[in-house]
Structure 1
Amino acid sequence: MLTAVRGALAFLTRLPVGSDGAAWDAFRATPAAFVVAGYVVGGLAALPLLAPVPVSTAVAGYLVALYLVTGVTHADGLADCGDAAAAHGAAADRREILRDSRTGVGGALALGVALVALALGGLGAAGAGPRVSVRLVLAAEVSAKAGMAALAALGDPGHEGLGSAVVGEASGAALLPAVAVAVPAALAAPSGSGPALLAALLAGPAVALLVGRWATARLGGVTGDAFGAANELGRIAALHAGVIAWTLW
């Protein structure tokens, strides 16, 4: 598992963990490694929310910390999928758009809306106080990574590339350890936040499976860009789901 987690952190973050063929192969065969990486990313990104600064500044710090840790690869995947979603034509035509390094209107709109939605979700979480907001951010990141794990195990691989190198390398049964690893993100919750954390944990996988269905129908299978989109959208959905549940219950 430690080797798989090292591969996951090398794939999902910019942390200097080092990687090699053994780590990459172990990661592809171990969906639970996605989830463990989610704890690392979420924990680091949530640190600014503990700072004694105005809420808006803390949320800005959360966004900066998040993308310093993860880099822009997954956000670029979301932008590419936005361009592909805005295009007409067959799956092969959309895949050509994914290879284009230029960002079109669809990609710019998808990325812009996603960043605004993430910031607003962060503001909503911060309004619940530092203890709850940190747990919500952590649960949202674990949820997004659990969604990627589900997509890797249950999705249909697309054209040859990063997505096809990860999708289908593990069976659906391999998701059981991933679920077990994700459960602690909803345990030992501050008073009254249990339903919020549970809602956050469920949202990421649901969004990832929807992205997988769209990618299969529109791109011919799950690509590396679809993975990135699932991660970014899953995080946003999980954060908002948690905030909504916190507000209502």
Structure 2
Amino acid sequence: MSIEDVAPRTTAWTIGRIIEKQLPTPTTVRLRMHVEDRQRHWPGQHYLVRLRAPDDYVAQRSYSVASDSEDPLVEFLVEKLPGGEVSEFLADVAEVGDVLELRGPIGRWFSWDVRTPALCLVGGTGVVPAVAMTRAARRAGRPELLRVLAVARSREELPYADELARAGASLALTRVALDGRPPGPPTASEVAPLLAGVEIAFVCGSSRFAQLGEALLMESGFPVEKIRVEQFGATG
């Protein structure tokens, strides 16, 4: 049974135990968790993570899933934001063995069925859903269905850069040259060739990047109704 054949179910709060924790960069934390009563997910979906203080104060944030549905653990890559209640806790306080409240998977609009030819145009930690899609395509034996253009200031600041490069993703760096490509944001002339045969495009990143990505796709002649945009940023 493939993930596109799984009927959606109402999600409820459950618990997840941190099995692995890594700090790939000074501003990110990678968590791999065992989730109780876990539901299969589509690549592109996310979970809510909820923290509860002793005085019953509650904070929750949404984080995209990096793992594919067959991975025994659910993987998150979280950007540590200055003053971020949840992200700072996950990066600086949470430890292996800790239990967190989770609800998911959530989101059908920004999800991929692993059978429709797709392009991911992603920036910074917005690469996370593209990583899930890449892993799902590889596990399904259909890597040709997905193209990825990932953007960051430098390769060191791009999460999963090596994994994406091995999967054939195109990388665009805005601050340094890469393989003869001058530094700078991607252009419509770089995006257009990647759209041949593509039926749906996913854009994920900061609000500024999301605007750029959507504009590039439309400038390249891609139908706006086939563009799915997810943006993130600090939450007040």
TM over 0.5: no
More helix as a share of residues? 1
Higher relative contact order (CA 8 A, sep 6+): 1
Scaled by the length of structure 1, what TM-score is found? 0.29
